[in-house]
């Protein structure tokens, strides 16, 4: 569970968050569109934004800032470029 400076809240496979830019992440079907074109899909959303927030639930762990680093079943990509996580079954329980 993580809280962003703007009050966004993300928790496990039941992620749901509203960012100042209108991005929305929902349940095991996480999907977010950020102004920088980053797209996170399906039960894998999680990231480290400039404010140092770290999400590491249903999978993954990403570092944004000096180049996006997505760790866990994915690769590495620079911020600004669109990033899309592959679909993955959500861990429940």
pLDDT the model gives residue 45 = 42
Query: What's the CA gap between 17 and 9, in Å, rounded?
Result: 5
pLDDT the model gives residue 93 = 43
pLDDT the model gives residue 4 = 42
CA 46 to each of CA 37, 64, 82: distance values in angstroms, whole numbers, following the listed order: 15, 11, 15
pTM more than 0.75: no
Domain boundaries, the chain: 2-77
Q: Are 46 and 60 in contact (CB under 8 A)?
A: yes
pLDDT the model gives residue 72 = 37
Q: Are 28 and 71 in contact (CB under 8 A)?
A: no
pLDDT in tens, 4-61: 443 344 443 333 333 333 344 443 333 333 333 344 443 344 443 333 334 443 333 3
Query: What's the CA gap between 24 and 75, in Å, rounded?
Result: 23
Confidence of residue 1 (pLDDT cuts 50, 70, 90): very low
């Amino acid at each position: 569970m993580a809280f962003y400076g703007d009050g966004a809240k993300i928790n496990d496979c039941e992620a749901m968050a509203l960012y100042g830019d209108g991005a929305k992440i929902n349940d095991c079907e996480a999907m977010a569109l950020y102004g920088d074109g980053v797209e996170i899909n399906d039960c894998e959303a999680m990231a480290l934004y400039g404010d140092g927030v770290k999400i590491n639930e249903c999978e993954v762990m990403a570092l944004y800032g000096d180049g996006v680093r997505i760790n866990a079943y994915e690769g590495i990509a620079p911020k600004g470029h669109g990033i899309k996580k592959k679909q993955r079954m959500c861990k429940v329980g």
